Structure formats: structure tokens, C-alpha cells
Chain A
Amino acid sequence: MKLALEFDHVSKEYRSLFGRRFRALDGFSLQVYPTEIFGFLGPNGAGKTTAIHLAMGFMRPTSGSGRLLGEPFGHAITRRRVGFLPENLGLYPRPAEQLVRFYGALNGMKASDLKPRAGEVLEMVGLEDHARRNVSRFSRGMLQRVGLAQALVNDPELLILDEPTSALDPVARVGVRELLMRARTQGKTIFLSSHLLSEIELLCDRVAVLHRGRLVRLGRTDELLESYERTEIAARGIKANGIAKAIAPERSSWNFDPDGMLRIAVPRDQQRATISRIWEAGGEVVSVVPQRRSLEEIFLEVTSGADSAAAGGVQ
């Protein structure tokens, strides 16, 4: 299968005028498959934007290589099939519709196709009423939406979005989320770098966490969110707090639902013993499921864990 995006042991080192070196990416490898929404996470300075800029051909890797839609990074013609939204967007000061047409023309689109397409994409990002207004008078959120429109104008196969919703209000954010969902149903691949973990959690099929230029976690979002280290046991028929306390082992937490269901989150090695105690206390086990965590918890765990174990590879 042809990959949408591939990094193969890519390293990137910046050098200052005085010879000081800074390694932004260190042997970074990643594969993004067609038609998936891929979340790219990492704290500030982790190397996310560097990786994206390498993929777009804005810079060359110090070592390693990569491919964008099957062609080496920097292949200009391939970018016709790519839509890109940079993190800090710079736009020429002119009416939104003209600007979108300008970017479409750079991609070789015909003038006859550009006018309707520009209107269409501006409508998609909710700027149809501002199409004739100069973007220099736009708010940051509106500029972000023009940026999305210029990324979409050529109907790309692959969308590379660096913090697409960072400047948007909640309503616009929902709009962008729906737009990306729709893009996926149309068979597009989306590579999404964001600090908004809730967005990534809702949207992405797979996520990668980058820290200090290294990939520290990669996997399917639903698998990452499920903890195999802790299990949540739901039991009926146990009413008293005292009994619940007796059943719950150490390093566990428990609570009663409003309908009286006891929920105990236990370490995995305590799961069998806890179930036995519930039965002995006359309770009935309703469900045993791996506990679900938030992406924020995983992110914090991975990035703080990687600090103490800097040599760690992909987990």
C-alpha cells in the first residue's frame, strides 16, 4: 500500500551562527496510511513543526529521508495533491476570495474552475459573507479559516494541518471538526498537529506523541485510551460503604453510581481477587472493562516519563 506520509529515520539539526547545535528531530520514523486522520502530539519544542516543514520540503533533513504521497520530500508537483495550513499563517493583504484564487492558481488550477471553487471553500469554512473583505481586517480566527480555505482549494488528497483550531472559538472549532470528518468520508488523509488533546481524541484514528525530537508513543487512539494496567469492575447488590471498602484492594478507587451500582477501578493484577470478594459479599459482577483514560493523562504520562527515560524508543 502506498503511504500518504512516511518519515524514515529522519534527523534534523539546527546550527547557530556560533556553531551551537540543536537537534530538533532525532531518528524519527513514522508512517501515515491513506484515508486516516492522524494526530501528531507533543509539547512545545518537541519537533512537530520541524517534521511538518521537512515533509513540505521547506527544509532538508540532516539525515534520513521521507516520502509524501510516494514521492521524496520537496517534490513540487506532488504538492498539487496536498493542502497545507501552517501554524503561524502569513497572508497577502487582499480580499479573501482573491487570495484563495491566488493560491489555487499557484497550484495550476484553471481560472474558470477557481471562481466557483473559491466560493465553495469559503462557504465550507463559514466565510461566504466575508469573501470580498480584505483579510488584513480579519480577526485571527477568521485568518485561520482563510488558511483552511486555501489549503482546501485544490481538493487535496492529503491535508497537513498545523494547529488548525488554535485560534478558533468553540463554534468554529466544531465547524472545522465536522469539515475534517467530512473530508475523511471523502477518502482524504489528514495529518493533524494540535495541542488541543480533546480535538485529537475526538477526531483521530491514530496518534503519535513526539518528545524532544523522538517518537515516544504511537498507536490507535482507542487502544491508547484504554488502559491495560487498570480495570473498572461494575457490581450490583452491594449497598454499604463498609463492604465496598473491604472489597476494594489497595491502589484502587471506588464510588457508587446514583442508581446504586458500585464501580471499582483496580490494578490489573488485583482484578481476579476483587471479583472473588464481590461474589463472597453477595454481589453480582455486571462488567469488567479496561479503564479508559483521557489523552491528556497519556500525554502527561508519556512526556514526563520520557524525560526520566530519555533513551526510550517507541512504546
Chain B
Amino acid sequence: MKAILVIAINFVREQRWPVLVMLLWVLLLAFLGLTTEAARSKRPTPIKEQGEDLLFVFKQVAVYVVAFSVFFGSSAIFNDRRSRRILSVLSKAIGRQDYLSGLVLGITLASAIYCIALGVTGSWTLGEVGFPVRQVWFLMVCLLAACMLAGTVALMFSTFLNPFFAAGATAATMGLPFLLSHTSGNAMWTLVIPVNALAAAVLKSSFEAPATGSWMAIFLALAETVVFWFLAAKIFSYMDIAVSVE
């Protein structure tokens, strides 16, 4: 367990620059949102209109993290193999499944940092215009569950594909249930791999219906994360990790 945590923290540390840029982006937008709102409050703009603008920016910024988690997941193993750092890590008393668990936890931690920053700034900015703060945090939980699942799916594909194809395969896997639900008209398909359902919960939230997501989708995402982790561990256990990935 300790080794998993060590790998996860190491992963976040290795990704500190992308994480920092994401954080700065969130803080910058929050600052711009607040200053714009302050300027507007001096004019007779209806408060609802101000809030809609802020919520629109918040939703756009929120879903970026899902793409980041796919990027983190699809490149993690490849980077370690290309730099040959994986050899010194896996020469220690850790199994490959522990290594993958560390990466899943690392991706989740990196996404959580973003989600917490977004939750704090969202509570601050959206709370000012009357959006329920509790619902901001519920949307962050939806987002984090989506990131965890998306990152794990990407990690699973990256055990045997290069990052580019792994990211493509992840996008296809996440998009397929969405497509099936549209063609069949059965909304239950979106729960198969509920990344889209969870991201949609964030995108569809409004002042009238702040929380459209469900705990069911969150729990399913967590359960499917375990399933994809298991698949990843099975595939990775057969891989020759010392073979060049170039």
C-alpha cells in the first residue's frame, strides 16, 4: 500500500507542470469572472444573466480535466518505458498491479487537485450569483469519478498501445455507449461507461436544474474503474516491459 502511494505521489510530482498550468488557468478564469462580475454589478445587468455567463465558463473549464486525465493515463507507462525509469521502479518489491494502482491513484490525485481548485473558485464565483455551493461540489465529485474512469481506461489501452492510439481508443470506448444510447433511444447505455453521462451532468447543469447527475453513475464509474484496472493488470502482466517502445 505504501509503495502505491509513493508511486502516485511520484506521478503527480512528474506531472507538476501540466497540473500547475491547469491550476493557473482555473485561477485566471476565476479572477476574470470576478472582475467582470464586479464591473457588471455597477451596471444594471440582471444578476441571472451574469450568473449564466459565469456558469458557462465554469462548465467549459470543468470538462477539460477529463481530457487531461486521458492524456495522463495514455502517456504514463509509455514515458516510464521510454526513459527506462520503469526498470528501476519495477526492480523493487512491487508487482505490476501495484505499479498500475499507483498510476491510477496518481491520475486521480492530479485530477483531484484540479477539481478541488475548480470547486473552490466555483463556490466563490458561482456562489456570489446564487448557484448552490453544495451542487458545485457534487458536480466536482461527478467530474472526479469521470476522470478516474477515463484515466484508467486510457491506462489500460496504453499497456499495449502507444499514447496516441491509446487516447484514440479511449475516446472511442467512452463515445460508443453515448452513440448507442442515441441510436437505440435507450438512455441506459450511457451508464455502461458513464464518463459521458458524468461530463454531461456538469455541462447540463443550470440555475434551474443545478444537479443533473446521479450517484448511480458515480458508483458505476468507480466500479468500472476497478474492472478496467483489473483488465490493465492482466494485460500488463504479459508485457515485456524491457523491450524498447520506440
Contact = CB atoms under 8 A, between A and B. Distances in A.
Interface stretch (A32-40, A79-87, A234-242): A79-87
Contacts of A14: 240, 243
Contacts, number: 78
B25 to A, nearest CB: 24
Given A102-B10, A106-B3, A108-B3, A84 B91 contact: yes
Nearest to A160: B91
Contacts of B86: 90
B87 interface: yes
Interface stretch (A54-62, A168-176, A201-209, A268-276): A54-62
Nearest to A90: B84
Contacts of B238: 60
Nearest to A93: B14
Contacts of B241: 58-59
Nearest to B89: A106
A44 to B, nearest CB: 15
Interface stretch (B92-100, B136-144, B216-224): B92-100
Interface in B69-119: 83-95, 98
A53 interface: yes
B242 interface: yes
B85 A106 contact: no
B85 A91 contact: yes
A235 to B, nearest CB: 55
Interface string B150-181: 00000000000000000000000000000000
A179 interface: no
A128 to B, nearest CB: 21
Given A59-B242, A92-B14, A105-B6, A76 B94 contact: yes
B93 A90 contact: no
A88 interface: yes
Nearest to B240: A59
Question: Most A CB atoms within 10 A — which of B3, B7, B92, B238?
Answer: B92
A221 interface: no
A256 interface: no
A181 B30 CA distance: 62
A103 to B, nearest CB: 6
Interface string B115-152: 00000000000000000000000000000000000000
A49 B241 CA distance: 13
A59 B239 CA distance: 7
B88 A57 contact: no
A89 interface: yes
A56 B240 CA distance: 11
Nearest to B81: A90
B2 A90 contact: no
Nearest to A81: B93
A90 B85 contact: yes
Given A76-B95, A79-B91, A89-B84, 11 more contacts: A14-B240, A56-B91, A57-B90, A58-B90, A58-B240, A59-B241, A80-B92, A88-B84, A90-B83, A91-B88, A105-B2
16 contacts: A57-B90, A58-B241, A58-B242, A60-B240, A76-B93, A84-B87, A84-B91, A88-B84, A89-B84, A90-B84, A92-B10, A103-B88, A103-B89, A103-B92, A107-B92, A108-B93
Cβ-closest 9 pairs across A and B: A90-B84, A80-B93, A84-B91, A59-B240, A106-B92, A90-B85, A76-B95, A58-B242, A90-B83
Interface of A: 14, 49, 53, 56-60, 76-80, 82, 84, 86, 88-92, 94, 102-103, 105-108, 147, 150, 154
